[in-house]
Amino acid sequence: MKEYRYIGKSTPRKDALDIVTGKTKFINDLTVPNMLYGKVLRSPLPHALIKSIDTAEAKRLPGVKAVLTYQDIPDWMAGFPLHVRVLDSKVRYVGDAVALVAAETEDIGEEALRLIKVEYEPLPAVYDVEEARQPDAPQLYEQFPGNLLPQERRMFGPHTLQEVVTGDVDKGLAEADFIIKGTCAYENIPNPLPPEPPGVIASWEGTDALTVWSASQGPHMFKVTLQRRMGATNMQSIGSPVGGSYGSKYMSWQYVLPAAALAKAAGRPVKLYYGKTEHLAAFTVRLGSRIHGQVGMKKDGSVTALSADWLVNTGAFSEITQGMVAVGCGEAQLMIRCPNWNFRPQMVCTNRTASGQVRGFGGQELKCALIPILTMGLEKAGIDPVEFFKKNYVKPGDGYYWRDGKWWVCNGIDYTPAIEKGAETFGWQEKWQGWLKPTSINGAKRRGVGVGVHGNADVGEDISEAFVRLDSNGTATIYSGLAEHGTGQRSSICKMVAEILQLPLDRVFVTPTDSSVNPFEIGPVGSRGTYAIGSAVIAAAEDAKRQLLELMAQKFKVAPEDLETQDGMAYVKGKPEAKIPWIKGMGYDRTIMGHGRFEPDFTLPNFMMIFTEVEVDTETGKVDLIRVVGATDVGQIIDPPSLTNQLNGCLGSAGIDSALFEETVFDTRLGRVMNPNMIDYKWRTFAELPEMEHEILETPFPSHRFHAIGVGEITPSPGPSAVLMAVSNAIGVRMADYPLTPDKILRALGKVANAERRGK
């Protein structure tokens, strides 16, 4: 393997000093002069028409500068397809926005909310995805009869994947040695729950120039998607460091549009920053996912047919659900080698807070429901799941329909060595005792093991552009709209540029995340930072280096390819002693600008396998996660601690722990989230960490000059189904209901009465 100066070495994050000294300015640490505070009046009812709304008293309160209702808010639309008004005459979930207030202080804003009088006409509400499909079910949107969202055929091009239908399922079932039918659901709608709540500051100058500062994973996309909707012709979108997102702060119109509407109405800048209760009860959660599936399988474990209804509960609106369904459908094919598919999603609206983009992006939700059904077949055939995944996971030369509906052929690597290394480190062979058999029993405590897999072909999704500017003082500045949301990617692209230009890391900078400065950037999503964003940055750095050496060549009177540069000096290859600084060739009065662009490439699937060992206390029903081993292959590690941090991230952010205790508890009598605070919403503490190890292989990919691909987004996704399998094996009872709280364990063991727990 090639030895690099920075790539693959641990280097401090460029933003580390600011983070550890508290100087990093997150969105709520910013104020702009003359700024007001926005507040949102939220619906107490899950489904209702607003009969009347009286804001007179609120408007009279000193310090209140604007009050907006559905009657006077601009008609800006959001959602896919456009179907959500910022404020509507109808509310569709408890927490839906009813009115907006801008006030001099937060306290005045909250007081004003209490003075708004609303009369509602309650409507019946529906929460269950199948009940919502019944003919007599309450209807959320006139334009979506049966509460069914239309398939979206434009999101990822004219053939956006919205189902997998290939081959002949009847033929496949006829060829099967046995047929498994089953239902499994992953509907505990966990919250990705970044510590920093969603927040934004919006400010208008005149009627068409809008500046938005926001905590967003993809701030540049606000300019692309929201500018026109808000009637702005000149929107400047400035991203702040993001205090956690895990996908959730990407399509962030839910806070950007209200703040912009208030700022316009008040004629002053407005900050809108969610409280934690709003964050937990009225911001986006994971998709609800339920699969009724039928699998044809041979005795050797080969899948001959897969037929399934995938019922996707998107809650009160679709933020980007069709996109998540597209990627989920693609990812199912990466995991299962099957010639005959009839996999049909239905995207359904219900009266609860909406589902949005979360790390795992459709695929995690799909796998958590699909893998437990598949494994019923493996149990019947007596097949080890590790062997099944090894045989089935996509390999070079295999094809799949990706999110754009096109057939792509894998040009990546075979992950068999990663699977084998992970299994060896975990001790899978010794611990695996067969289906529904514990690894060990110690009194009331029983241990079990399980494994899960996930991967996407999105590491090369979408467009990235970057510039690299060289200044004659021997520094490089990267122009990129890349937000820093915790992965360290802004530092990693500096390492790439420092490597190409052989500059000290402290002489490479990145511009602020500002759409008025930077070229087009989709953002760090879908594990695309390393390959897609990295490729654009690398191309820009190479372009800049070429221009530099052309200039320096005139000084040396040699061809540019005879030159090398290091630490801001150029020299003829082999003669570093006769080096001269860049300024001698560039002059003090010139800058060099290199341009880079990345075009989508869906041929390099990434991969993550997670092995888990759990211990179940059969007396109390408590499940402890004992050990986690992750296995992947990333081609080339860019920054070791950043990578291990991302892999350790498999636990929280609605990952592994969504199989154990994380859930948004929903009361279907009131339509309310019952745990919208961080005491009742359970999360893993420092005191309860499992043992964690990773096997990270580095088989070079045909990606960019460092042969690397990203994996960060997908690390939590194999976990929940692995835990479900481990617990089932530990107690000898097949479990199919996330999360595995003690009541469910004890019920499965026949130790408590079989009372129905109503909550979706």
Say whether residue 26 binds other proteins (CB under 8 A). Answer: yes
CB nearer to other proteins: pick between 223 and 279: 279
Handedness of CA 597, 600, 602, 608 (dihedral sign): positive
C-alpha closest to that of 248 among 206, 192, 300: 192
- The CB-of-406 to other proteins minimum distance in angstroms stands at 34
Handedness of CA 683, 686, 688, 691 (dihedral sign): positive
Token couple for 208:
């068409």
The answer to whether 126 and 147 are in contact (CB under 8 A) is yes
Say whether residue 112 binds other proteins (CB under 8 A). Answer: no
Say whether residue 755 binds other proteins (CB under 8 A). Answer: no
Candidate segments 19-27, 311-319, 466-474, 496-504, binder of other proteins by CB under 8 A: 19-27
- The CB-of-192 to other proteins minimum distance in angstroms stands at 8
Give Cβ neighbours of residue 417 (< 8 Å, ≥ 6 apart). Answer: 633, 697, 699
The answer to whether 355 and 189 are in contact (CB under 8 A) is yes
- The CB-of-272 to other proteins minimum distance in angstroms stands at 15
Q: What is the residue type of 406?
A: K
Say whether residue 199 binds other proteins (CB under 8 A). Answer: no
Say whether residue 399 binds other proteins (CB under 8 A). Answer: no
Say whether residue 665 binds other proteins (CB under 8 A). Answer: no
Q: Sort strands 199-205 and 407-409 into parallel, antiparallel or unpaired.
A: unpaired
| Side-chain half-sphere exposure of 387, counting CA atoms within 13 A | 12
Q: Judged by CB under 8 A, which of 37, 80, 156, 246 binds other proteins? A: 246
Say whether residue 425 binds other proteins (CB under 8 A). Answer: no
Applying CB under 8 A, what is the total number of residues that bind other proteins? Answer: 58
- Return the residues of window 485-544 that contact other proteins according to CB under 8 A: 485-488
Say whether residue 110 binds other proteins (CB under 8 A). Answer: no
CB nearer to other proteins: pick between 32 and 558: 32
Say whether residue 159 binds other proteins (CB under 8 A). Answer: no
- Residue identified by tokens 């580390």 is 16
Neighbours of 25 (CB within 10 A): 12
- Residue identified by tokens 């993550």 is 608
Three-state DSSP at 682 gives coil
Candidate segments 240-248, 340-348, 570-578, 740-748, binder of other proteins by CB under 8 A: 240-248
Say whether residue 197 binds other proteins (CB under 8 A). Answer: yes
- Name the percent of the chain in helix, strand, coil, to the closest 5: 30, 25, 45
Task: Give DSSP secondary structure letters for 252-264.
Answer: THHHHHHHHHHHH
Say whether residue 692 binds other proteins (CB under 8 A). Answer: yes
Residue 652 backbone phi and psi in degrees, to 5: -90, -150
Three-state DSSP at 276 gives helix
- The CB-of-684 to other proteins minimum distance in angstroms stands at 8
Widest pairwise Cα distance in the chain: 88
- In which order are the strands placed within the sheet that holds 591-598? 508-510, 475-479, 464-471, 591-598
CB nearer to other proteins: pick between 326 and 628: 628
Give Cβ neighbours of residue 715 (< 8 Å, ≥ 6 apart). Answer: 608, 630, 646, 647, 649, 650, 655
Three-state DSSP at 733 gives coil
One character per residue 268-307, x = contact with other proteins (rule: CB under 8 A): -------xx-------------------------------
CB nearer to other proteins: pick between 62 and 206: 62
- The CB-of-585 to other proteins minimum distance in angstroms stands at 36
- The CB-of-229 to other proteins minimum distance in angstroms stands at 29
Give the distance, in angstroms, between the CA of residue 52 and the centroid of all CA atoms in the same chain.
39
Say whether residue 679 binds other proteins (CB under 8 A). Answer: yes
- The CB-of-199 to other proteins minimum distance in angstroms stands at 11
CB nearer to other proteins: pick between 254 and 675: 675
Helix (H) or strand (E) holding 236: strand 234-239
- The CB-of-749 to other proteins minimum distance in angstroms stands at 29
CB nearer to other proteins: pick between 21 and 754: 21
- The CB-of-216 to other proteins minimum distance in angstroms stands at 13
Q: Judged by CB under 8 A, which of 8, 79, 243, 356 binds other proteins? A: 243
- Residue 9's alpha-carbon distances to 84, 459, 571, 638, 708, in angstroms, are 47, 22, 26, 7, 14
CB nearer to other proteins: pick between 242 and 270: 242
Q: Judged by CB under 8 A, which of 211, 216, 227, 653 binds other proteins? A: 653
User: What are 298's strand-pairing partners?
Assistant: none
Give the distance, in angstroms, between the CA of residue 92 and the centroid of all CA atoms in the same chain.
25
Say whether residue 661 binds other proteins (CB under 8 A). Answer: no
- Residue 167's alpha-carbon distances to 335, 336, 546, in angstroms, are 17, 14, 50
Q: Judged by CB under 8 A, which of 646, 658, 675, 729 binds other proteins? A: 646
- Residue identified by tokens 């606000």 is 222
Token couple for 42:
């939220």
CB nearer to other proteins: pick between 197 and 323: 197
Say whether residue 54 binds other proteins (CB under 8 A). Answer: no
Say whether residue 689 binds other proteins (CB under 8 A). Answer: yes
Say whether residue 699 binds other proteins (CB under 8 A). Answer: no
Q: Judged by CB under 8 A, which of 652, 710, 720, 739 binds other proteins? A: 652
Helices and strands (H, E) in the chain, number of each type: 18, 33
Say whether residue 242 binds other proteins (CB under 8 A). Answer: yes
- The CB-of-472 to other proteins minimum distance in angstroms stands at 29
Q: What is the residue type of 691?
A: E
Say whether residue 28 binds other proteins (CB under 8 A). Answer: yes
- Return the residues of window 167-196 that contact other proteins according to CB under 8 A: 192-196
- The CB-of-677 to other proteins minimum distance in angstroms stands at 6
- Residue 132's alpha-carbon distances to 43, 126, 321, 350, in angstroms, are 21, 6, 17, 7
- The CB-of-535 to other proteins minimum distance in angstroms stands at 23
Say whether residue 105 binds other proteins (CB under 8 A). Answer: yes
C-alpha closest to that of 393 among 376, 375, 414, 374: 414
As a whole number of angstroms, the distance between CA 142 and CA 136 comes to 14
Say whether residue 23 binds other proteins (CB under 8 A). Answer: yes
CB nearer to other proteins: pick between 241 and 385: 241
Candidate segments 400-408, 478-486, 612-620, 661-669, binder of other proteins by CB under 8 A: 478-486
Say whether residue 165 binds other proteins (CB under 8 A). Answer: no
Q: What is the contact surface with other proteins in residues (CB under 8 A)?
A: 10, 12-13, 15-17, 19-26, 28-29, 104-105, 192-197, 241-246, 275-276, 484-488, 639, 641-642, 644-646, 648-653, 677-679, 683, 685-687, 689, 692
